[in-house]
Amino acid sequence: MRSIKCAILFSGNGSNMQNLIESLHNKIFYDNANNPVRLETTLTLCNNPSAYGITRTHHLAIPCKIINHKDFSSRSDFDNAMIEMLRAHSIDIVLLAGFMRILTSCFTQAYQTINIHPSFLPEHKGANAIKESFNSTQSYGGVSVHWVNEELDSGEIIAQEKLHKIPNESLEDFTSRIHALEYSLYPRAILLALGLKDSVKSVEELQ
């Protein structure tokens, strides 16, 4: 059976990372020819040694490597260190889940990389997307999943959904609904990007 080895990069809480692992790891999907394909989260990478997501990886029994970007003199040196680690684990595709670094061209040319962003792109790029979206005059926010290039939040869209605002809703409640949409959309968008159909059985069920 063919396997696709995934790496997840994160910088903080790691809730999207955990959702991807629980939704996709060691599950069997089917390609367009109905051949079974296993998705395997082979590795997680974190650039922040104090990130809570590291604790999540331990609970999930998924290997986590820490490469602190502050240990490198340039963005490209940091990216090359990550590339070396990914190649050592024979990674096929990279998934970003709250990874707070802009990747250089050396990385994006080495690996196909997917990111999730909490706005309806191209609106509200950058780190404060949820708050900016909430405070905007638009009647909606949203979530977008896209291929990564060297320009911030600007790669080709894979999937996106709008989230309509509720009158008098708090920023906290709006944020919670955005996160819930992220957890729903991201796994589905990854399968779409990889040309795979929904899971039927887990690896354990097939044994």
Residues 112-154 have pLDDT tens digits of: 999 999 999 999 999 899 999 999 999 999 999 999 998 888 8
Asked if 146 contacts 121 with a C-beta cutoff of 8 angstroms, the reply is yes
pLDDT of residue 199 exceeding 90? no
Q: In the prediction, which pLDDT does 153 show?
A: 87
Helix (H, G, I), strand (E, B) or coil at 128: coil
User: Token pair 């990550």 is at which residue?
Assistant: 82
Q: In the prediction, which pLDDT does 200 show?
A: 54
User: Token pair 């063919």 is at which residue?
Assistant: 2
**162's tokens:** 């709008």
What distance in Å separates the CA atoms of residue 34 and residue 13, rounded to the nearest whole number?
36
What distance in Å separates the CA atoms of residue 93 and residue 4, rounded to the nearest whole number?
8
Range of the domain at 140: 2-206
**Marked catalytic residue, from 58, 69, 117, 164:** 117
Q: In the prediction, which pLDDT does 173 show?
A: 98
Listed in sequence order, the DSSP H helices in 61-170 are: 75-88, 105-110, 129-135
pLDDT of residue 6 exceeding 80? yes
Q: In the prediction, which pLDDT does 152 show?
A: 84
What distance in Å separates the CA atoms of residue 131 and residue 119, rounded to the nearest whole number?
10
Give residue 205's pLDDT band: very low, low, confident or very high (50, 70, 90).
low
pLDDT of residue 202 exceeding 90? no
**CATH number of residue 28's parent domain:** 3.40.50.170
Give residue-wise pLDDT tens across range 47-101: 999 999 999 999 999 999 999 999 999 999 999 999 999 999 999 999 999 999 9
Q: Tell me phi and psi for residue 85, to 5 degrees.
A: -65, -45
Tally the residues of the chain. Answer: 207
User: Any catalytic annotation for residue 117?
Assistant: yes
- When divided into structural domains, the chain yields a total of 1
**70's tokens:** 């502050």
What distance in Å separates the CA atoms of residue 150 and residue 148, rounded to the nearest whole number?
7
